[in-house]
Structures are given as C-alpha cells and as structure tokens.
C-alpha cells in the first residue's frame, strides 16, 4: 500500500519553498539535466512556480554550469544550476571548479539522499547517496550546506545567495534532501526578511594615499589589469588613470578591462621591461598573463626591471583556496592595498588627480611618455596586422588570418565575443571599444561552448551579434551543447577555429621534442583530430542550426560569415561556419 499522501488543491510541498526563495532572490534561469533526486523541485518549478525561474534543459551537467558561468560574467547576475545527487554532481565538478577560480557567482542546488534511510527507494537511492555529498566540491566552492529540515531551507538559500554574490564572488552549493522536497507542508514556512547586500570592502585610506604617491612619482608607470573589468563602471576610470599618468596598460584579459585600440594599451609589448612602477589591479596570477613568464618554461619567476616599484590593489589573499594553486607565482610587492577595486579605484583616481595637479613640471615628460607608448602600441598593432595578411598559399590559412577575416565580416554589427579569442588574435586585431564586447578570456578545453552559450543567453534580446570563436577540440567534448541553443532559442554565431588538433598540447609536445631531440614528426601522436576529420557543419545542422563548411580558403570566410550573421540577426536561428586553419606554432 502506498504511503504517499492524497493531494488536494492548494497542497504545498517542501520543494515549493525552494521555488519561493529562488523567485525572491531574482533568479531568472535554472539550468539542469533532469534527475530523480530533485523530481519534487522539478515539479515545483514547472507547476507551482509557473515557469519562474525558467528551466534551461541541458544535456550535460558541466555544460549547465558553463552556461551559468558565462551568464554571470556577461550580465553580472547569478543563475541557478540543479545537479542530480552524486552522479550529476560528479559530472559537473570541473564546471564548478572553473567558476570558482574565475570568480563567477552561481547558486548550485543538488538533490540528495534521502538521508533518512527508511525513506530510500530500493537500490538507486542507496548507490546515489553519500554521507557528506558536499565533499565532492567543498574545496572549490565559497560555501556549502545541507539543510536537514524544510524550515532550515529558506535561511540556507538566503545565506548561500548572499555569499555567492559578495565579492570576491563565486559558486556555492546547497544539497536538498529528496524526501524533504516531497514532504507536504502542514504549516507555513517563515521566509527570511529582506537582507540588503553587504557593503563592499574599502581600502585603508593611508595605505591608498601612499600607493597613489608612489605611482604618481614614477616616470614610467604601467598598469596591469586583471578582474577590475568585472564592474563595467571601472572601464572609464582605468582609461582616465592611464591618460592622467601617461601609464601603459597591459590587460590580462581575465576580464576585458581596457580598449584594445587605445594608444596606451601596450599588451603584448615589452613595456614592462622598462617600467619603474607596476600597479596590478585585481590581479591574482602575475605569471604568463602579464607576459612575465612563458607557459612552456619551468622554474622561472616573474621579473621586472631592477628597482621598479611593485604595487598591488585588489583582494590580495582573500578568497585564496588552500586546495587549488590558482593564485599563481609568488611576487614581492612594495605596496599592497587590500580592497574591492570597485570601491578603491575611484578613490585612487581622485587622489592621483590632486597629486598630478600639484606636479606641473611633469606635464611635458608625461606627454612625451604618452607618445612613446602610443608608438609602441601602433608598432605592435602594425606587426600583428601584417602577420594576419600573410597569404597562406595553397594550404590552410593561419589562425591570425582567420580571425582577421571574421573581424571584417562582422564589421557593422554591434558584436560581442564570447570566451575564446582565436589564440589571442581577436584582442590583437579587433577593436574592443566597450566593456560588453567580451566578458574575458576562455579558461580551458571543455569549458568554452558552455560559457559561450551563457554569454549569448545574457545578451539575448539586445540586438547584438554574439560571436564564438570556437576551438574544435573544445566542441568535441561537449557537442550536445549545440542542441541547447536551438532548444532555447539562443541566437549566436559559432565560427569554428578548426585546426584539427588539440593545438595547445601540440605546441607543448613540439617543445619537449626539441628539448629531448626526439622526432618532431612524432609530436602530433594522440593530438591530431583527423582520420576522420569531424564534420561540424553536419553536426550543427542535426541540432537545428544553420551551418556551412568546411571553409578552406581565406577569400571564402567573409561571405560565409556574413551570410551566417544575417541569418542569426534576422531569424534568431543559431548558425555555425566551420573554417579550417593550420595549427599555430
């Protein structure tokens, strides 16, 4: 005989309380791959919540987390993600980790248990239950919880959302007992009172004043920007500070922090080698992203010019994990000011304005410095444009040429680039003139298509053309993600950067071959994506996309991409252009 209660009109369940909290917190979307451990919550979202938040059906948990990751970076808002107990959580762990190191806020909910063994279904509830399920992600979430009563759920979710969205931001995880979700509510469950967002972290005024004085005393200052661009309001302030001081700017592209076409943007040049003061703005890893280290060499430490002052403004060691080493190389600073740059940057700029106004004798030297940096900027841009124009002859085009042609094809559109930059060529060749153009660089293989979908979701309805320079190796991990764009009407243009290889690893294997004297011809073993080459256009069409390719000639890129862009913008249908290029050395 069934022990389930007989439902009556107006009956409320434990999972309805979760929906009440999601709505109260302004969660607009929840991404999920369905699972029986949250069948109660699933029903509440559809029926009790009447589609608020909106469900995004995603074929893989890692992709669901990637969508929430990209959405947070592009919109500044958090999404919900729901993971099926142990197996869904284990599938999604890499997505949780990348969101953590990239400081992307999201509320991750997981079905769990039932923890009351007497309430478990045969076999399946047993093999999918752990004593401490949260341990799977505890090392790389800001906070986690597992409320053991319905009454404890509202406070748990309120705390989780506040922690996720407080700086430095990141993912949180709350396990929801499957049996609690399905229990009938006999009495109303009190909801937490409205809790204002906590104030942001301000700097020590004396320390900030000393940092400003050191910076303004420098003759050749350089700013290194990390995640300061997570707040779009910082965009004009970084520009003003650089222009005020005659400072070069090196953008790590962890977020887009500074216009690529600005004459003081000296990213990719040797400007750091002559700097007498370096100010890092919300930078966690000072290694390869500041061009201080190469990614192939081991044992090196960051180096700047002898005697240069090293200044740091940001969260410092706040949020640093004892498990992950994503904080990067050690460097000693002459000044460290711990603060949220969104609070500290306006204060620093005000202080520097006053100091510069009191240095009229520096006007000429600062203008000379600006001109010198502008020449360095233009030289680098000219060299990059020249490399991109090199004709590929009868073979596949270079990545630089591919990215250049795509840039020409989307000219005239109000475009947004998602995660990948075509091995850095987009930020060298395209004009990123507004903070929304790009939410920041990609993080690694098997992350990009999910993050790109989230970026496109954030921009849906804005009239912008969302472009994904999509690596082939990345899409091979998560090809089913293409279905999500069709299913949920997410317009985006995917341009395959298809070098038919895991090229980053090929570069490393070539490095090892040269170092060890082993045959260079063998470096592609286990790396090349060929024989057979994946047919990405056919794959995309099978999921409801417009698709064309493979495109093998540079002169075919512009018309192919323009046609695909027209379809995306006029119909909302996602489109893919498969472009074959040669691996970069």
pLDDT in tens, 423-479: 999 999 999 999 999 999 998 889 999 999 999 999 999 999 999 999 999 999 999
Please state, in angstroms and as integers, the Cα–Cα distance from residue 384 to each residue in 2, 226, 390, 584, following that order. 71, 23, 10, 14
3-state class (DSSP) for residue 181: helix
Give the pLDDT of residue 194: 77
User: Residue ranges per domain, the chain?
Assistant: 14-182, 205-379, 390-580
User: Alpha-carbon distance 103 to 165, whole Å?
Assistant: 10
User: Alpha-carbon distance 319 to 282, whole Å?
Assistant: 12
How many Cα atoms sit within 13 Å of 426 on the Cβ side?
Answer: 27
- Give per-10-residue mean pLDDT for the chain (585 aa): 57 96 97 96 97 97 98 97 96 97 97 92 90 95 97 97 96 97 94 86 97 98 97 98 98 97 96 94 82 68 82 93 86 93 98 97 97 98 94 83 97 97 96 98 92 98 98 95 98 96 85 91 89 95 97 96 98 98 81
Give the pLDDT of residue 122: 92
Q: Residue 390 CA to chain centroid, in angstroms?
A: 32
Which overall architecture, per CATH, does domain 205-379 show? 3-Layer(aba) Sandwich (3.40)
Q: Which fold has domain 14-182?
A: Rossmann fold (3.40.50)
Q: What's the pTM?
A: 0.95
Q: Residue 139 CA to chain centroid, in angstroms?
A: 19
User: Alpha-carbon distance 291 to 40, whole Å?
Assistant: 51
Give the phi and the psi of residue 487 in degrees, each rounded to 5.
-65, -40
Pairing mode, strands 106-112 and 415-417? unpaired
Selection from 40, 50, 48, 52 nearest residue 9 by Cα: 48
How many Cα atoms sit within 13 Å of 448 on the Cβ side?
Answer: 28
Give the pLDDT of residue 2: 43
User: Alpha-carbon distance 391 to 401, whole Å?
Assistant: 8
**Crossing angle of helices 399-410/363-389, nearest 10°?**
100
Long-range pairs for 258-263: beta carbons < 8 A, 24 or more residues apart: 258/225, 258/229, 259/431, 259/432, 259/433, 260/427, 260/428, 260/430, 260/431, 260/432, 260/433, 261/431, 261/432, 261/433, 262/377, 263/370, 263/373, 263/374, 263/377, 263/378
Give the pLDDT of residue 301: 66
Please state, in angstroms and as integers, the Cα–Cα distance from residue 501 to each residue in 271, 403, 538, following that order. 33, 18, 19
Q: Which two tokens stand for residue 67?
A: 């969508």
Please indicate whether the domains covering 205-379 and 390-580 agree at the CATH topology level: yes
3-state class (DSSP) for residue 186: coil
Residue whose entry in the numeric block shows the structure tokens 């943007």: 265
469 preceded by a cis bond (ω within 30 of 0): no
Give the phi and the psi of residue 551 in degrees, each rounded to 5.
-95, 125
Residues 6+ away with beta carbon under 8 Å from 516: none
Q: Determine contact, residues 78/105, Cβ cutoff 8 Å.
A: yes
3-state class (DSSP) for residue 174: strand
Q: Which two tokens stand for residue 219?
A: 């003759």
Selection from 542, 556, 528 nearest residue 472 by Cα: 528
Give the pLDDT of residue 10: 77
Give the pLDDT of residue 296: 67
Q: Which fold has domain 390-580?
A: Rossmann fold (3.40.50)
3-state class (DSSP) for residue 584: coil
Question: Within 10 A of 186 (CB to CB), how many other CB atoms are there?
Answer: 7
Q: Which two tokens stand for residue 39?
A: 């069948």
């Amino acid at each position: 005989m069934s022990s389930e209660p007989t439902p009556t009109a107006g009956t409320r369940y434990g999972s309805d309380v979760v929906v009440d909290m999601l709505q109260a917190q302004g969660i607009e979307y929840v991404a999920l791959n369905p699972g029986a451990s949250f069948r109660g919550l699933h029903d509440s979202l559809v029926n009790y919540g009447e589609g608020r938040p909106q469900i995004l059906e995603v074929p893989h948990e890692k992709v669901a987390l990637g969508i929430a990751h990209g959405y947070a970076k592009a919109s500044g808002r958090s999404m919900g993600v729901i993971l099926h107990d142990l197996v869904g959580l284990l599938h999604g762990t890499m997505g949780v980790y990348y969101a953590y190191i990239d400081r992307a806020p999201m509320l991750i909910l997981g079905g769990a248990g039932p923890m009351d063994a007497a309430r478990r279904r045969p076999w399946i509830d047993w093999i999918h239950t752990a004593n401490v399920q949260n341990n799977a992600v505890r090392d790389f979430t800001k906070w986690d919880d597992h409320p053991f009563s319905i009454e404890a759920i509202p406070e748990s979710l309120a705390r989780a959302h506040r922690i996720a969205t407080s700086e430095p931001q990141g993912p949180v995880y709350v396990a929801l007992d499957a049996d609690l979700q399905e229990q009938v509510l006999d009495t109303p469950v009190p909801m937490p009172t409205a809790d204002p967002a906590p104030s942001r972290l301000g700097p020590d005024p004396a320390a900030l004043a000393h940092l400003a004085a050191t910076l303004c005393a420098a003759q050749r200052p350089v700013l290194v920007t990390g995640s300061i661009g997570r707040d779009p309001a910082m965009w004009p302030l970084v520009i003003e500070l650089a222009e005020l001081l005659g400072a070069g700017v090196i953008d790590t592209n962890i977020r887009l922090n500074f216009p690529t076409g600005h004459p003081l943007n000296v990213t990719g040049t040797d400007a750091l080698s002559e700097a007498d003061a370096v100010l890092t703005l919300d930078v966690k890893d000072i290694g390869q992203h500041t061009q201080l280290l190469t990614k192939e060499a081991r044992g090196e430490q960051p180096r700047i010019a002898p005697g240069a002052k090293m200044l740091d403004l940001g969260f410092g060691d706040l949020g640093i994990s004892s498990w992950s080493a994503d904080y990067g190389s050690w460097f000693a600073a002459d000044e460290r000011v711990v603060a949220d740059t969104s609070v500290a940057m306006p204060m620093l700029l005000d202080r520097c304005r006053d100091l510069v106004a009191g240095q009229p004798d520096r006007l000429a030297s600062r203008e000379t410095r600006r001109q010198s940096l502008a020449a360095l900027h233009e030289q680098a841009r000219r060299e990059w444009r020249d490399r991109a124009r090199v004709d590929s002859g009868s073979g596949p085009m270079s990545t630089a040429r591919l990215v250049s042609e795509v840039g020409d094809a989307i000219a005239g559109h109000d475009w947004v680039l998602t995660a990948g930059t075509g091995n850095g060529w987009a930020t060298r060749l395209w004009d990123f003139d507004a903070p929304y153009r790009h939410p920041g660089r990609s993080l690694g293989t098997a992350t990009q298509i999910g993050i790109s979908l989230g970026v496109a979701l954030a921009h849906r309805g804005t009239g912008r053309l969302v472009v994904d320079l999509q690596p082939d190796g990345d899409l091979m991990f998560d090809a089913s993600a293409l279905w999500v764009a069709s299913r949920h009407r997410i317009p985006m243009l995917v341009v395959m950067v298809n070098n038919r290889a895991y090229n980053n690893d090929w570069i490393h294997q070539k490095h090892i071959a040269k170092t060890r004297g082993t045959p260079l011809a063998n470096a592609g073993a286990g790396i090349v994506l060929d024989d057979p080459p994946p047919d990405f256009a056919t794959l995309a069409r099978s999921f409801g996309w417009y698709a064309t390719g493979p495109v093998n000639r540079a002169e075919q890129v512009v018309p192919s991409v323009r046609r695909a862009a027209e379809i995306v913008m006029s119909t909302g249908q996602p489109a893919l252009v498969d472009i074959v290029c040669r691996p970069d050395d």
